[in-house]
Structure 1
Amino acid sequence: MTPAESFLDCSAALLDRVRAQLPAIQQTADLFAKTILARQMVHVFGSGHSRILVEEMWPRYGSFPGFNPIVELSLTFHNLVVGANGQRQAMFLENVSGLASRILRNFDLKAGDSALVVSSSGCNVVPVEMSEEFQRRGVKVVALISKDHAEASTSRHPAGKKLQDFADIILDTGAPIGDAMVKIEGLETPVAPGSTIGGCLIVNAVKAEVAQRLTQAGQPPKVLTAGVLVGAQKATEIFEAAYDEHARRIAPYYQGLGA
């Protein structure tokens, strides 16, 4: 079997791991749809490469307003690798206690809000404290972790807590310990991570379920759609309307700050 075939087989197995979680996916969709139908926001946070799944949820083609993507560049700006804004700084900041509360100081969270916090290891300080702070402020939290990897990892949280300790619902990407899935003969450590694949499967399964619930409730979402499907003018109209709706939804989260 070639390395590519091995990776594809491992990826296919992730689909089965996600499918086994359909009850939790449905529960998550119920929670998120309830929040969006109440004209409130589902806050989505991830540090490091978990940022990918935040942006997968919104905004991109096939997604819709109702989600607040919280992406801190200091924790996620990886393309320079070294030097100013390099990876060493991002990995250091990811374990600075107190940063999560400073991030959420920018939002006037509401009763009835919900949140999705993504962390493959579930052990870095900022995402753990983010979930802790969300719950402290009355926001229900869905944690998206790589369960096997998280359970085998050592928490860097001051009290030894992990992301799953501050979650109302736990979803699992299905990725293995260490994330990488392919072993190469003569190479000491595996390559080709799986958490992004499993995570993308989960967030889009949730997204599809939420869209159905909103539509059945008489509030069909404004889905960002390609012009090749609906024509350039219609696609532009949808994009503008969706962005305007996002602005209206997020505005109240700034208005009450410091009051």
Structure 2
Amino acid sequence: MNRAPSLDRASASPAERYLSASENLLGIVQQQLPNISQAADWFAETILAGRMVHAFGSGHSRILIEELWPRYGSFPGFNPIVELSLTFHNLVVGANGQRQAMFLENVPGLAERILRNFDLSTQDTALVCSSSGCNVVPIEMAEQFKRRGVRVVAVVSQSHSDASATKHAGGLKLADVADLVLDTGAPAGDAMVHVDNLDTPVAPGSTIGGCLLINCMKAEVAARLSAAGQPPKVLSAGCTVGAERAVELFESAYDEHAHRLAKLYESVGPSI
């Protein structure tokens, strides 16, 4: 295997230092392969049972949820729970701005209101992503899943979480609630590169490490589904499978997603 040349940090450019730090994240993820395999076992069991893996992330953790599904190389079986009020950063200020999103991320009770929309089953599993693991809504989301008998896999930056103070009234962090914890490997504060004449680092790493974790799990789940005789309908590009096959896969995958999602709504709330 070709390895990158050793880096002389004294003379390395900021871009080179970022790439070197990213290589370190790859090693941290690789050390977690047993836990990744365990998460894949749980997720595959859920999908084979006709149920869904619920995936939640607030703030920029939304990126990891969208990496999971739907995009090229992904498949049905995942329920992306992405609240615009917690994740819509584009306007930055003004109506729907970032200040409001950061405030709402720490409002107690919001997680319960979100999950009130779904009829959950103990056959379900959940993935909750939060770099700090210290904001209220992701922690309460994990708590709400656990109260309903749903196993929870958390994706956090362990270093960042350890260095941060939780905003949860009970003093819990996401890692305290989850059944299984995966570490993106990103440092405290997330940013990985120091540059001259700037007292704060730049260029975060949690998305790199998080997407590595997400796609490792995705590949492992696909292998388990295929081995069980239920190969997934993978969203695929026309340049690889042909235009007609690509359309067929997209339509069938979206239909399967709709059918799985329908089960989450059919028995919501008390019987009428």
Normalization by structure 1: what TM-score? 0.99
| 2:50 partner amino acid | R
Q: Distance in 1 between matches of 2:183 and 2:204?
A: 14
Q: Distance in 1 between matches of 2:258 and 2:177?
A: 29
| 2:22 partner amino acid | S
State whether structure 2 residue 99 is matched by structure 1 residue 122: no
State whether structure 2 residue 45 is matched by structure 1 residue 45: no
The alpha-carbon deviation at position 185 of structure 1 amounts to: 1.2
> Partner of 1:160 in structure 2?
171
| 1:47 partner amino acid | S
State whether structure 2 residue 38 is matched by structure 1 residue 27: yes
> Partner of 1:189 in structure 2?
200
Runs of 4+ in 1 over 6 A off after TM superposition: none
> Partner of 1:255 in structure 2?
266
Identity of aligned residues (%): 69
Q: Deviations over 1:106-142 (max 9, x none)?
A: 0000111000000000000000000000000110000
**How large is the RMSD of aligned CA atoms in angstroms?**
0.4
State whether structure 2 residue 233 is matched by structure 1 residue 244: no
State whether structure 2 residue 180 is matched by structure 1 residue 169: yes
Q: Deviations over 1:13-35 (max 9, x none)?
A: 00000000000000000000000
Larger Rg: 2
2:211 to 200, 221, 227: 200
State whether structure 2 residue 149 is matched by structure 1 residue 142: no
Q: Distance in 1 between matches of 2:162 and 2:77?
A: 31
The alpha-carbon deviation at position 186 of structure 1 amounts to: 1.0
1:89 to 97, 100, 104: 100
> Aligned residue pairs: how many?
259
| 1:168 partner amino acid | D
Q: Distance in 1 between matches of 2:227 and 2:59?
A: 36
| 2:250 partner amino acid | F
Q: Distance in 2 between matches of 1:177 and 1:207?
A: 27
1:103 to 102, 114, 117: 114
Q: Distance in 1 between matches of 2:181 and 2:45?
A: 18
The alpha-carbon deviation at position 165 of structure 1 amounts to: 1.1
Q: Deviations over 1:200-238 (max 9, x none)?
A: 000000000000000000000000000001111110010
SS of equivalent to 1:89 = helix
| 2:20 partner amino acid | D
> Which ranges in structure 1 are unaligned for 5 or more consecutive residues?
none
> Which ranges in structure 2 are unaligned for 5 or more consecutive residues?
1-11
SS of equivalent to 2:198 = coil
> Partner of 2:90 in structure 1?
79
